[in-house]
Structure 1
């Protein structure tokens, strides 16, 4: 076969509509886990739908294999069919076999893709398909595909977990009163929302100071207070030992203690465990460390209409001494949660381009 890409036509109206459906199917997959959410629709040459599939999580059939299996179970002939897929079909054998082989063996002759796979291990599906004589069209509904996979794509492209920093503060930025009391600064609606977010991430991280002072369980709970079906890894960062009776040893996700002060090492260790999304919940020392390191991808700031005037702040010292060196954020959205407000923001890339990450030590933290 020629190694040159074969010319392809633009996506048809039926294929674009099928991609919209494939994106809906992909959204049914789990948000957490090492694998992306992917949907697939198989079309006959006349544009009618033959079968559908989506990826249900690590170890289960990929979307393409699920759709092909559905079609074959009904005795549907897939010779000359088109596969409309939200992510470039993989070309490697992992927990399951390569999707390119599944499609080729089924007789698929055209593949329409929203987003190309940036994973160096799994990528290359387009090349395999082209070399086999299959028409491939990419970039169909790419913006929607990128949005659906934004956390997974960022994690794969960066080679580290996507980092969300959670802050829960009073209006004057305090996370506790001067006597140490902090339950509860935010309202029940805000806490419910925070638990819902916990149930979507792969890991939940706090520093040893927070683990020792607040004695948190670090679990994701439903509105009824029960443990959610998915529990993230419970990560405690720092060198101090946790008491045997600490609540973090109770029911919930696996407890991982990382005896290091190096943020880069923490993220590398989590990446090695296939963590794609980590939620950093504090305290101030760990929050400052990840901000100093420039690894925060998104901030969730829950702000309660309270004033304390004194007490620990949400973020420790960033080494910023001038307003011109402030870390700038771009507000993505604002939500009302009962009496509280959630501000979701991302560090501004234009500011990162013109300023070094704040603070003299970009990737270490000190025990609080």
Structure 2
């Protein structure tokens, strides 16, 4: 049975609801219940660990029996396991839901399989509606589940000819105020912000996320990687969060540690050395390249060695969006390589 217009509109609404939920160890999920006539009769969303999942939250808005013959539209495949809450697939079956439309398959080894359980119970199931939009809402969570590490964004600013600084090392400011404001907004969306000791020693960054002179309510945890000591009076020590320091060069060790601390999204703000190291290690889920209409020349490249000895080994990217920011241009891209295999749970 093909997805109809009412179900498409309901999925758009479910995605809006999902985005309202908190980011954390559980995914942001939204659900909408449609009557047999296609009218919205209930809405729900997941509100945090230990609270009802979106489907159950929506069903709770209805009196007993009111969901019989209805359609549930959900941004993520209804779960099929008992954790702090029961399986949503079973809740939908017991409520008498006759059809389920969902966007993304649940990648969990134990929580997945809800669609099959629904079908076995005679529920009509359709998947994939607005899949890409749903993936964008929970990209951090998906990476954490599939790869066992945070979702990693590598950011840099460059001149049109690919330089991160002038010959004397000066780099403030390659980009304009609109681009810099965009960077701070994106910092505020991350759980952690990462630089190398070289950046700390050269620029003494505060590593905060600011809206003008005001700190955003959410601040990323500052992370410094490198063997050189950070001065006790460095600005990073005045950050709202205590900084984390890693002296290892093994970035996989770092991201595993961050994942174990519950960090699901990381913003790489360091210079060319650190950005290149993360890309070379295959630890870049998204690239943000802020490109300014200026020429610098010289050898201060935005990226250095990323492990590409020949053109056949080039790290191919897919452009997700080109964003004009004043006189500058932001390229948002992701690697075209296949995603890691599922290994997480919902």
Query: Which category of TM-score, normalised to the shorter sequence, fits these structures?
Result: 0.7 to 0.9
**Deviations, residues 116-153 of structure 1 (Å, cap 9, x unaligned):** 11122432323444455544333334344345444543
Superposed, which structure 2 residues align to 1:1-368 within 5 Å? 9-30=1-22, 32-58=23-49, 60-72=51-63, 77-94=66-83, 96-104=85-93, 106-132=95-121, 134-222=123-211, 224-310=212-298, 312-322=300-310, 325-349=313-337
CA distance in 1, matches of 2:311, 2:68: 64
SS in 1 for 2:277: helix
Q: CA deviation at 1:64?
A: 1.6
Structure 1, residues 246-274: CA drift from partner, whole Å, max 9, x if none? 21122334522223211222222222233
Instruction: Describe the superposition over 1:53-89 as per-residue Cα deviations: whole angstroms up to 9, x where unpaired.
Output: 22345555432232123335xx883344332111112
Larger RCO: 1 or 2 (CA < 8 Å, sep 6+): 2
Q: For each residue in 1:226-246, what CA deviation from the matched residue of structure 2 results, as whole angstroms up to 9, or x when unmatched?
A: 221222222222233322222
* 1:282-335 deviation per Cα after TM superposition (whole angstroms, max 9, x unaligned): 222211211211222221111223333346332233354555554443433322
- Counterpart secondary structure, 1:345: strand
TM-score scaled to structure 2, two decimals? 0.84
Structure 2 contact 222–239 (Cα < 8 Å) conserved: no
**Distance in 1 separating the partners of 2:115 and 2:307:** 47
Q: Distance in 2 between matches of 1:35 and 1:49?
A: 25
Q: Is the contact between residue 59 and residue 96 of structure 1 (CA under 8 Å) also seen in structure 2?
A: yes
Q: 1:15 to 1:173 in 2, by over 3 A?
A: closer
Q: In 1, Cα distance between the equivalents of 2:316 and 2:239?
A: 39
Q: Following the alignment from structure 2 to structure 1, what is the Cα–Cα distance between the partners of residues 162 and 171?
A: 13
Matched length = 339
Shift in alpha-carbon separation, 1:259–1:91, aligned structure 2, 3 A: farther
Q: Cα distance 1:340–1:17, how it changes in 2: closer, same or farther (>3 A)?
A: closer
Q: CA deviation at 1:190?
A: 0.7
Distance 1:127 1:176 in 2: 55
SS of the counterpart of 1:70? coil
* Runs of 4 or more consecutive aligned structure 1 residues displaced over 6 Å after TM superposition: none
RMSD: 3.0
